[in-house]
Structures are given as structure tokens and as C-alpha cells.
Amino acid sequence: MKMDELLGNIPYTVLQGSANTEVSGICWDSRRIKPGSLFICVKGRNIDRHDFAKQAVSDGAAALVVEHQVFRIPPDIPVIKVPDTRIALAEAASLLYGRPSESLKLIGVTGTNGKTSVTWFMEKLLRHGGKRPGIISTIENRIGEYRLNTIKINPTTPDPLELHASFSEMAAKGATHVIMEVTSSALAQSRVHGLGFDIGIFTNLTQDHLEEHGTMENYRNEKLKLFRMCRVGIINIDDSYAEDFIRGAACPVLTYGINKDADFMAEDISCFLDGTDFTLKYKGGRKRLHMKVPGLFNVYNMLAAVSVCVQHGFDINEIADWVESIEGVKGRFELISNPSNLSVIIDYAHSPDSLQNILSSVRKLTEKRVILVFGCGGNRDKTKRPIMGNIGGSTADYCIITSDNPRKEEPLSIINDI
């Protein structure tokens, strides 16, 4: 494909060579350069890939896309300047794979907590309804039982090359929908630029990722971008930031919740260690639902998934049967069987709010001693560490503080912060 074709409608300036140059593919990671590829110099938080432009050419790159002048590039190598290389990467990736997202209904889920569970619940429900959804999440990228061949590099929302390759693979496998977690980082870094979401879901917003966004306001504003890219928004009305999302959305909005009046409400909730019962109230009607998944926070997650199914026109009686068949998500309030007959639970809780939710849920389900094992990741928001330490120390009977991926930090320093 020719370089100028890959840039679509993005304005550009030719710094040297010709924009009509044929390239064999796209790359933004200089370690993965293949001969004949177009190297797009993406600026990251910690790395500016303009610094690797000369090395990329030495390793076989046929052309460069840059945001600013790069030096000592051989004169026979075309160099094109664009306003934003991240947006150029997203546009080029989509065109390279033939705009596969346009043949799929995209459902995006954003929020601090609950994204993985909502995508999991939604995928199971839509499959019961005869749809063929693909899923892109923290845990896995797959369609049905088929795990994608596309290499999963980013932990949650992929970079544009991986993302559009995944869309292409899913479309080839007959996917009708793609349900994906959309992180604040992905929105800030234009990984989902140009996508048209059928439905966007907001779960909640609590302290996290401030090492990247700086303030809660910035964090909120990045997540708000999703609701300017979708046809319908579905918002957790009980969250303290809900009104910001409702006001900021550029689409019609539906709401779900427990404490405030909403389009989809849960009432008469009964929580058990092995499941939860609640009454769904919507459009003036009521339906009793049972799910095998414990935790009040999972009532919110299921409400979000059920609201999507209602949007697709499924009958509430069918949905109720489907809800009852859903098993929990691996690593999310996951009960571990053991010969001592103790209640052992694994949960991915990595923010103050998620830790508080899991501990509060456990407290309501047992009168026995609660022992908490947790840690905080390195090179991430340091301000949440003492908050999580306070939550653990005041809610659990006993805390064991351990390492949780310290990255480049000293593990004991993280533990001391907690």
C-alpha cells in the first residue's frame, strides 16, 4: 500500500522523498521493524520514538512519519510530517486492515472498576441471544472459544495496530459485535481514534492512574471522550461523576443504579457467598433475577450488561434465564475450593474503591475473621497506597502486605507507603 493512502484524510507535509512510496506494512516499535515497513514515530509518556528513527531506517524501514524534523536520515528515505503521529497510526492501522470495525457493532466499557466483569457478563448474554460477540479485555482477546492469533501486547485496550488486526480477525471469524474495555490511557493516547461505538458504558470513577493524568478532572475528561464517540451512552447514575458524564455526552443516555432513580434499577437485593438475588425494575415493570456471582458491586456490573441486552430488543424473561447461567470471571471475586473448607477469594482489586468494595462485600457475607493479602504496583499512582493501607487496616482483621509487580521501584519502599 502507498504511504499517502495509509494516511487517509490526515494533512501532511513532505519533508523529503515522495509520499507515493509503496510500503509493506506499519510499525511504531523500532524493535519490530520489518524490511519495507513504514515507521511511525509515536511520542509516548516516557519514550519519543523520533529518537529511534535513524535506527529504524538502518533496520529496514522504507519511510518515516514524524511530528517534527529528524536528522541524518538518508535522502532516499521519504519523511512525512503530520500534526499527531498517534492519530496517524490509528488511521493507518484502520486503512491497512480495510476498516474492519465498520462491519462490527462496537460496545465500549470505561470506568475505574468493573470493566472486565461487565464485558464478560455482556458477552455471555449476547451469545445466549444468538449474537457472535468478540471480546477485548484485560484477561483475553477472543471470539467464542477461539483465542485470537494477534499477539496481545498491551494489557487492556490494544495499540491501534493490534486493535485493528483483532477487529479484522474477529470479522473473518463471523463476529457481529466487539465488546471492549476502553481505558483512560487508550483514550488519551488516541488508540481508539476514529472508531464509532454503538454503545458506550460508564461504570464508575475513583482514584487511579493519577501518575498519568495528574488530576481526577483530567482522568474524568479522558473517559468522557468515549461518550462523544458512541450512538448511546449507558451511565451508572449512583457514581458521583455521573452527572458530568450525562452532561458531557454527545448522545442519548440511559442510566442504571441502585440508590437513585434510573432507567434500570436493582431493588430487594440479597447477597450470599455463592450468588446474589435482586429485582430488576425498568419501564414500570419488575423481574426477579438470580446470579451465581456474589457482591453488591456485581449487581451494578450485571445491570450494565442487562441494559445492553434490553437495548438489543431481547425479552426480559429470556434475559433472566441467561443471567442465572453465568459463572463469575476468573480473578474477580473468585472462590477457590480448598481442603480446609475456608472461604478463599481472589480479586483483582487495584484501587482504593475496588478494595473497599471487595472487603465490604466479604464483611457482609461472614462473621469470621477476614485476612487480607494485597500490595500495590510500582511506578503507578503513589498517593493511593496509604489510602489502600488504611482501608485494609481498618476493614480486615489482619493484613499481609506483599509485592504486586514493583516494576522499577524498591518493593520495601512500596510496602512502607502502604
Q: Which among 78, 108, 76 is positioned nearest to 7, based on CA atoms?
A: 78
- Which residues, in sequence order, are bridge partners of residue 43? 48
Helix, strand, coil abundance in the chain, percent, nearest 5: 35, 25, 40
DSSP 8-state assignment for residue 333:
S
| Residue 252 amino acid letter | P
Residues 227, 113: Cα–Cα separation, whole Å: 18
pTM for the predicted model, two decimal places? 0.85
CA separation, residue 144 to residues 55, 63, 135, 148 (Å): 41, 38, 8, 10
Residues 248, 197: Cα–Cα separation, whole Å: 16
Phi, psi of 87 (to 5 degrees): -65, -40
Residue 277 pLDDT exceeds 80: yes
Residues 248, 96: Cα–Cα separation, whole Å: 33
Cβ neighbours, 10 Å, residue 416: 12
Q: What is the pLDDT of residue 127?
A: 96
The strand pair at 141-143 and 133-136 is best described as antiparallel
Residues 307, 254: Cα–Cα separation, whole Å: 8
Within 8 A by CB and 6+ apart from 359, the residues are 370, 372, 391, 392, 395, 396
**Region of poorest pLDDT, from 149-153, 162-166, 250-254, 342-346:** 149-153
Length of the chain: 418
Confidence of residue 349 (pLDDT cuts 50, 70, 90): confident
Residues 341, 350: Cα–Cα separation, whole Å: 27
Q: Which among 388, 381, 387, 376 is positioned nearest to 412, based on CA atoms?
A: 376
Q: What is the pLDDT of residue 18?
A: 94
Residue 133 pLDDT exceeds 80: yes
Q: What is the pLDDT of residue 381?
A: 87
| Residue 381 amino acid letter | D
Q: What is the pLDDT of residue 255?
A: 98
Q: What is the pLDDT of residue 274?
A: 84
Q: What is the pLDDT of residue 210?
A: 66
| Residues of the chain above pLDDT 90, percent | 77
Helices (H) and strands (E) in the chain, counts: 14, 20
Q: What is the pLDDT of residue 323?
A: 96
The residue to which cell 493524568 is assigned: 213
Q: What is the pLDDT of residue 45?
A: 77
Residues 215, 101: Cα–Cα separation, whole Å: 32
**Whether the Cβ atoms of residue 210 and residue 140 lie closer than 8 Å to each other:** no
The residue to which cell 424473561 is assigned: 317
Using CB atoms within 10 Å of the CB of residue 106, give its burial: 0 to 12 exposed, 13 to 18 middle, 19+ buried. buried
3-state DSSP assignment of residue 261: coil
Each residue of 156-178: b (16+ CB within 10 Å) or e?
bbbbbbbbbbbbbbbbeeebbbb
Within 8 A by CB and 6+ apart from 144, the residues are 127, 132, 173
Residue 288 pLDDT exceeds 90: yes
| pLDDT tens column, 51-90 | 999 999 999 999 999 999 999 999 999 999 999 999 999 9
